[in-house]
A and B are shown apart, each in its own frame.
Chain A
Amino acid sequence: MEFVSPEGLRLDGRRPLEMRQLRAEIGAVSKADGSAVFEMGNTKVIAAVYGPREVENRAQQMNDQALVRCEYTMANFSTGDRVRKPKGDRRSTEISMVIRQTMEACIMTHLMPRSQIDIFVQVLQADGGTRSACINAATLALADAGIPMRDLVTSCSAGYLNTTPLLDLNYVEDSAGGPDVTVGYLPKLDKVTLLQMDSKLPLDTFESVMQLAIEGCKAVANYLREVLLENTKQLEYRRGS
């Protein structure tokens, strides 16, 4: 199938190196300590963070660092066909773990010993790149909850179809079965904290595709930063001195 037309346009009208439209909103769940909605095009994810708070299960309490937990779910209405999504299936367990590990890498857990941080992410609408969107949403929610982090971890995917590296695959492109590289990236520290790939790629192509995904992460980071800064300023001026 043709994913990039000879005119250089993808199926949805983007060019290969373009991302989908980003939108972020902080504070979507009023009861949570921090929450955010993050959209990449039609992929829409909500994240809520509770904590740091008392550890629910004392046995899991750690004396030197905080316990980070994550739960990923997909809303029943998130995909085209409305099916009941069983909780705790392999896929969501895997993604939960991926998000948890990625976030754990940037949260300064040692500052909050004997406490627990819960991250809940739910996909409201799925159109490819849910993993990335979840990580970005979780980052925003954590920042909103005022949890100290080393860096803003951001994520973006890139693929390789029709011998062209493509940034930020949507569902159609994702389901083509081609290689799909998801990168989690710390922009300030210039470090990759998550790297996943479906399918196979030769090494040199892989590098360029990964680099593209990193560029995508940087763009996401810039956007998140803007949103967070604006949010902070607003909170501050509203509160007054």
Chain B
Amino acid sequence: MREIELSLNQTQKIRLQRALDRLQSLSSKSTSNSSVTVADTIPVNDEDGILKGHGTLEVDSEVVATVCGVVERVNKLIYVRSLRSRYKPETGDIVVGRVVEVAQKRWRIEINSNQDAVLMLSSVTLPDGIQRRRTPIDELNMRNIFVENDVISAEVRNGQHDGIWQLHARSNKYGKLDRGQLIAVPTYLVKRRKQHFHQLDKYGVLLILGCNGYVWVGELTEAKDSMEVDDVNESEKSNAKSSDQTKLEENYTALETRENICRIANAVRVLSILGFSITVEVILEMCELSILLNLDIHDMLGAEFCVTVAEKEAVRRSL
């Protein structure tokens, strides 16, 4: 059994248990008992023409699960939605990844999947923002755009026949991420939604809930253009290494913003610990709650806050 790793005192234990029990009863109301484990037989109505999807296997004319998860039925398709597995890319997903290698005309990006994804040089917007053919000069200057260990946001473009997925960052909103925190959460906690970029103006924070379970919490920069400017600055800076006073100020993030980043990041962490679905609404709610309770940022990871969140979640879901 996966235990929630918190050091709880007796009352907190009881409270948490009660909240979780509540959640359990709520969920069993809504979803039928469709959880399976490896090698469980999935009951199939004898109608012909079932399509066996992911996580299923036919053994002796029985449909058997190959992973632990929840059985989903869409028309004739039967598949097992596995929890806690690695990210399975789908075209159009917004992901946050980390550059692991700069290669020929491409970057290899680690996106918490079976294999690293590829971001072609041709799939990024160049710093100057002009759409044009990529020249060998551009190839030589690839490191001016992304270098190893950079965190970037991108969109899944398509999968190749060899199983490698391609990304693209051909929009102003994609690109390099800095001045913020990257949090890795289990993939199944992030659901695919319309909106994965959240500009939380109130906190001056940019929140990206990557479909691959990588969550970015960073400083919200004012205009889209500034990002490009930033990039330019960055490159210039690295090239010239001139430590101009003005440029330093531009790199400076206000304390308040930094605190907000941490607060939001911790909210994500708490949700990850509790195994609750991560959405922007819940995150914001938690931030407000923590401010309301006048909690220090680091106290958000304490047992008390977690239990409170669990209780709130129970109330929220029962509404």
Contacts and interface: CB of A to CB of B under 8 A. Distances in A.
Interface of A: 24-27, 30, 33-34, 51-54, 63, 108, 112-115, 143-152, 187-189, 225, 227-241
A151 B60 CA distance: 13
Given A26-B1, A152-B39, A235 B66 contact: no
Interface stretch (B67-75, B145-153, B193-201, B231-239): B67-75
A189 B168 CA distance: 44
14 contacts: A26-B2, A33-B85, A54-B116, A115-B114, A143-B68, A144-B68, A146-B83, A149-B39, A150-B39, A228-B38, A229-B37, A231-B68, A239-B83, A240-B26
Given A188-B64, A228-B68, 15 more contacts: A52-B114, A53-B86, A53-B114, A113-B163, A114-B114, A146-B84, A147-B85, A150-B66, A188-B39, A232-B37, A233-B24, A234-B20, A237-B28, A240-B23, A240-B277
B115 interface: yes
Contacts of B23: 237-238, 240
A236 B31 contact: yes
Interface string B37-51: 111100000000000
B86 A146 contact: yes
A228 B189 CA distance: 19
Given A25-B1, A143-B68, A235-B188, A152 B37 contact: yes
B284 to A, nearest CB: 17
A34 B82 CA distance: 13
A236 B27 contact: yes
Contacts of A240: 23, 26-27, 276-277, 313, 317
B86 A239 contact: no
A136 B83 CA distance: 20
B71 to A, nearest CB: 11
B1 A231 contact: yes
A145 B38 contact: no
Contacts of B39: 149-152, 187-188, 225
A230 B5 CA distance: 17
Interface in B1-36: 1-3, 5, 20, 23-24, 26-28, 30-31, 35-36
A239 B275 contact: yes
Nearest to B24: A237
A241 B31 contact: yes
